[in-house]
Amino acid sequence: MPSLPPAIFLMGPTASGKTDLALELARTLPCELISVDSALVYKGMDIGTAKPSKALLAEFPHRLVDILDPAESYSAADFRRDALQAMAEITARGRIPLLVGGTMLYFKALLEGLADMPSADPGIRQALEAQANTEGLQALHAELARIDPVSAARIHPNDPQRIIRALEVYQAGGVSMTELRQRQNVQKGVAGASGDVQLPYTVASLAIAPAERSLLHARIAQRFEQMLEQGFIGEVRQLRDRGDLHPGLPSIRAVGYRQVWDHLDGKLSATEMKERGIIATRQLAKRQFTWLRGWDGLKWLDSLARDNLTQSLKYLGSISILS
């Protein structure tokens, strides 16, 4: 059997320095970049997502950036389809796909595949969002714990998108997300891992983060301040003034955007908005760390180290990613 082509995953929490290291790798290796970020897919959402500048994107093109309007939704299944296509095109040119970002569910979906879940149902989702607004997100999480305790234990009580999706899956088909995944695992065990599920690449997984969590928190706060100085509020105001967007959309639920939106709606003062935006970003980083702690074969790098490129190249060579 011929060896599988190489691919590199570069993961990490928000504000950890993933982009800088990715650019160093792209300058050194025959890599092409694929963004793994659920917010960078949206056009017009630049400041609050810390999207690379247009000049940088021109020099180092990133696949899956600016591909959707904020009114549209983008699922893990959509990402997997688009990423596999991009990886195949990059590999066909004799180059290495370098996937960089912090949306850990996307990485997992790409590596392991996805259970066959019911399509999104706008009516069910709207009803669940209305229930969350009237009864609170904790009530929805409690309902999820009753019908699907495994998913409830896995999903953070303050993660509205995933709680609502899990409930939507159950209400649409009468079967919990956990049971659907178990059925898929049984089918894989009987039939063997199919090419549609198993990622046909030899993957090297890198993760970068500050060794001290307090340093990451400081970087998160500093970056949020910089976003505000760069015009983040004005960016959200432009989105809000379109008239066709609302806080229930995945784009507007992105960390930072929903807090600024609430500020523009008069629900939060400027100080409260900034505090909650920073807290929400810290919570996101905590969830990203949780994902990464369970990741097999991960090479950790310290954001503050000066030899991360050297360490990365040494690691890639040691597992025969580099020919």
pLDDT tens, per residue, the chain with 323 residues: 358 999 999 999 999 999 999 999 999 999 999 999 999 999 999 999 999 999 999 999 999 999 999 999 898 989 999 999 999 999 999 999 999 999 999 999 999 887 677 777 888 988 998 999 899 999 999 999 999 999 999 888 888 888 998 999 999 889 899 988 787 666 555 433 333 457 999 999 999 999 999 999 999 999 999 999 999 999 999 999 999 999 989 999 999 999 999 999 999 999 999 999 999 999 999 999 999 998 999 999 999 999 999 999 999 999 888 76
Q: Where are the domains of the chain?
A: 6-113+199-318, 122-191
65 touches 31 (CB < 8 A): no
Which amino acid makes up residue 183?
A: R
What pLDDT was estimated at residue 188? 53
Q: Tell me the pTM.
A: 0.81
Q: Which two tokens stand for residue 86?
A: 């991009």
Topology of domain 6-113+199-318 in CATH is Rossmann fold (3.40.50)
Q: Which CATH class is domain 122-191?
A: mainly alpha
Q: Tell me whether domains 6-113+199-318 and 122-191 share a fold.
A: no
178 touches 150 (CB < 8 A): yes
